[in-house]
Amino acid sequence: MMNDVREVAEDLARANNERASSQALFGETLWDRTNAKSSIRFNSRLRLYEQISRHVCVVYGV
């Protein structure tokens, strides 16, 4: 039973190391992904504000 747990832990560690090395190879880090998500959120919010302002301009004739 302990050997099974140890093997699973080693497999997980190996997979994490492989993922980290592939991310390093392509220059992707957690920081990059966080920045990408926040910039996507910012851009979609900006688009929403632009749509609202256009609608307000049309409705109120500003």
Q: Rounded to an integer, what distance in angstroms lies between the CA atom of residue 49 and that of residue 57?
A: 12
Determine the pLDDT at residue 39.
79
pTM reported for the whole predicted model: 0.38
What range does the domain containing 21 cover?
2-60
pLDDT digits 0-9 by tens, 1-17: 567 778 877 887 787 77
Domain total in the chain:
1
pLDDT digits 0-9 by tens, 24-58: 556 666 666 677 777 778 888 888 888 888 887 77
Tell me the two tokens of residue 14: 């190996």
